[in-house]
């Protein structure tokens, strides 16, 4: 069983460069709140989705469609229609989080492959096996809160394929359970599809520096020589007992390049790159590095090492230009 590289696409150019630079699968979303990266100007309508699917299939690659938010009763028809459209378009798999949507998809399109989204927040094999038994899922994307030893225990106790995040932005919460930004914006990211909706974001140049706000709440203030990141509550700097610092989470990226041999040994089925909200340039560069790294590890895992050049390239693309192994590596355990 090979280790697949799963790369993000927020638009058609990003999808094409992912395919061109070695992605085995590309994941995308529709242009509405059915996916968890529902930023204005991103994602696919049916026509661009059709073009992207055709391009990927012509190059022997697969398209995965994320319908990974949670439908509300009054809007159920929007998510149901998204499943119907995806099936008609010929996607290779749906990435789902909501049980009701899984039930609809599995009963209406029994031949359509289903993946459990990281938004489903399944952190143990019992949960994953439940989804397999009741909805026939064939792959599960694990939340980024498990150590490698815990991941390996999951792999050993399920026949469901396991997909791990390998690179990209980190979330302070267990995926699928964060409602932090809804206290400020009034919109839950699990239903509206974005934790900091663009309409609530404001930038303002002040005598003290560039300020970012979310629904009027000051999240950060940047000096002239600092890079300003997209404002999210969990990665804001706040004044706590006369100190100003990242009180919840520092802006940093997960980078597991050095762990590829361990993932191969465990039988991980796919490595996922985060970033459907990022540019085609980001997608191109990250895909190229990870393709080279995975191929090198497959060729000679015993002598594999992440090269300084790969790490430098990924460092430039990381949040805050810093990266971490996250929960995968816990030296105290």
Token pair in block for residue 280? 């085609």
Pair 35, 69: CB distance under 8 Å: yes
Instruction: Please report how many Cα atoms fall inside a 13 Å half-sphere around the Cα of residue 209, on the Cβ side.
Output: 14
Sketch the domain layout of the chain as residue ranges: 4-170+252-328, 188-246
pLDDT digits (tens, 9 = 90+) for 177-212: 777 888 888 887 888 888 888 888 999 999 989 999
Q: What is the CATH number of domain 4-170+252-328?
A: 3.20.20.70
Tens digit of pLDDT for each residue in 64-89? 999 999 998 999 999 999 999 999 99
Each residue's pLDDT tens digit, 99-136? 999 999 999 999 999 999 999 999 999 999 999 999 99
Task: List the one residue out of 150, 127, 123 whose CA is nearest residue 137.
Answer: 127
**What phi, psi does 181 have (nearest 5°)?**
-70, -20
Q: Which residue has the higher pLDDT, 250 or 104?
A: 104
**What proportion of the chain, given as a percentage, has pLDDT over 70?**
96
Q: What is the DSSP string of 133-185?
A: HHH---EEEPPTT--HHHHHHHHHT-SSEEEEEEEEE--SSPTT---TTHHHH
Q: What are the residues whose beta carbons fall under 8 Å from the beta carbon of 207, sequence distance 6 or more?
A: none
On the question of pLDDT at 225 being above 90, the answer is no
User: Alpha-carbon dihedral of residues 103, 154, 271, 305, nearest 10 degrees?
Assistant: 180
Tokens for 295? 């191929």
Neighbour order of strands in the sheet with 201-206? 201-206, 209-214, 217-222
- The pLDDT of residue 333 is 55
Distant-in-sequence, close-in-space partners of 235: CB < 8 Å, separation ≥ 6? 172, 229, 246, 248, 249, 250, 251, 319
Q: pLDDT digits over 126-179, tens only?
A: 999 999 999 999 999 999 889 999 999 999 999 999 999 999 987 766 676 777
Residue-wise over 194-224: b if at least 16 C-beta within 10 A, else e? bbbbeebbeeeeeeeeebbbbbebbbbbbee
Predicted pLDDT at 46: 97
């Amino acid at each position: 069983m090979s280790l697949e590289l799963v790369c993000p696409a927020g638009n058609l150019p990003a999808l094409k460069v992912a395919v061109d630079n070695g992605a085995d699968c590309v994941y995308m979303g529709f242009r509405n709140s059915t996916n968890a990266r529902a930023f204005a100007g991103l994602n696919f309508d049916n026509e661009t989705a059709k073009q992207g699917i055709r391009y990927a299939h012509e190059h022997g690659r697969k398209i995965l469609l994320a319908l990974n938010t949670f439908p509300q009763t009054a809007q159920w028809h929007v998510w149901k229609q998204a499943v119907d459209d995806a099936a008609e378009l010929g996607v290779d798999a749906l990435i789902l989080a909501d049980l009701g949507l899984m039930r609809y998809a599995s009963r209406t399109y029994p031949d359509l492959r289903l993946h459990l989204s990281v938004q489903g927040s399944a952190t143990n094999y019992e949960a994953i096996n439940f989804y397999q038994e009741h909805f026939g899922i064939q792959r599960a994307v694990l939340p980024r809160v498990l150590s490698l030893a815990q991941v390996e225990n999951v792999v050993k106790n399920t026949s469901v394929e396991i997909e791990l995040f390998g690179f990209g932005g980190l979330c302070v919460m267990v995926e699928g359970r964060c409602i932090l930004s809804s206290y400020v914006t009034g919109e839950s990211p699990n239903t509206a599809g974005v934790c900091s909706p663009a309409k609530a974001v404001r930038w303002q140049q002040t005598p003290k520096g560039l300020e970012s706000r979310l629904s009027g709440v000051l999240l950060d203030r940047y000096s002239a020589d600092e890079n300003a990141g997209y404002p999210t509550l969990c990665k804001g700097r706040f004044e706590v007992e006369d100190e100003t610092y990242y009180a919840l989470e520092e802006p940093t990226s997960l980078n597991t390049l050095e762990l590829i041999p361990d993932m191969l040994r465990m039988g991980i089925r796919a490595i996922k790159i985060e970033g459907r909200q990022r540019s085609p340039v980001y997608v191109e560069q990250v895909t190229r590095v990870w393709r080279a790294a995975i191929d090198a590890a497959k060729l000679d895992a015993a002598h594999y090492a992440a090269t300084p050049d790969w790490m430098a390239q990924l460092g430039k693309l990381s949040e805050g230009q810093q990266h971490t192994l996250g929960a995968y590596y816990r030296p105290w355990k």
